[in-house]
Amino acid sequence: MTLLEGLLWLTLNVYHEARSEPQVGQVAVALVTLNRANQKHRPIKEIVQEPYQFSWTFQKDSYLPDDPKAFLECMKSVYIALKTEDFTNGATHYHLETVEPYWSSEFTYLDQFGSHKFYK
C-alpha cells in the first residue's frame, strides 16, 4: 500500500464518519483510525475496511464523496492529525453520544469530542 492510498482511506473514513463534526471531532476520528492501525500493525485501508468497524463501509452504496468542500476539510483534519500529539490518549473506539453500543462497557471511556464519545 502506498502512502497516498493510506491518506485517501484515512480521509474517506473521516469524511464518512465525521464530516459534520467540528474539526476537533474530525481529528479525533482520524487519530482513532491511526491508533488502531498502529496497535494492530496493519495498513489504514485494512483497518477501515475491517468488517463492521466503521458503519459507513457497510451502509453506503458508494465510497465516493459527494461534497468536495467537506472532503477537503476532512483532508485538512487528517493532515492535522498526522502532525499533532494524540489528544485522545490512545482511543481506539468511538460512538455517537446518542447511542449506547453493546461493546462500550468493555472499554474505558476517555473523553468526548464533538458528538462522539471516545474509548480505549
Higher pLDDT, 62 or 54: 54
Q: What is the pLDDT of residue 118?
A: 98
pLDDT category at 63 given cuts 50, 70, 90 is: confident
82, pLDDT greater than 90: yes
Alpha helix (H) residue ranges in 19-117:
23-40, 44-49, 56-59, 68-83
Confidence of residue 1 (pLDDT cuts 50, 70, 90): low
Residues in the chain: 120
The mean pLDDT of 56-63, rounded to a whole number, is 81
Reply yes or no on whether the pLDDT at 16 is more than 80: yes
Q: Rounded CA gap, 89 and 67, in Å?
A: 31
Q: How many CB atoms lie within 10 A of CB 1?
A: 11
pLDDT digits (tens, 9 = 90+) for 17-55: 999 999 999 999 999 999 999 999 999 999 999 998 998
Domain covering 3-86: architecture: Orthogonal Bundle (1.10)
**pLDDT for residue 59:** 81
Q: Pairing mode, if any, of strands 116-119 and 93-96? A: antiparallel
Domain boundaries along the sequence of the chain: 3-86
- Does residue 60 carry a pLDDT above 90? no
**Percent of the chain with pLDDT strictly greater than 70:** 99
Could you give the angle at which helices 23-40 and 3-18 cross, rounded to 10 degrees? 130
Least confident among 11-25, 32-46, 51-65, 79-93? 51-65
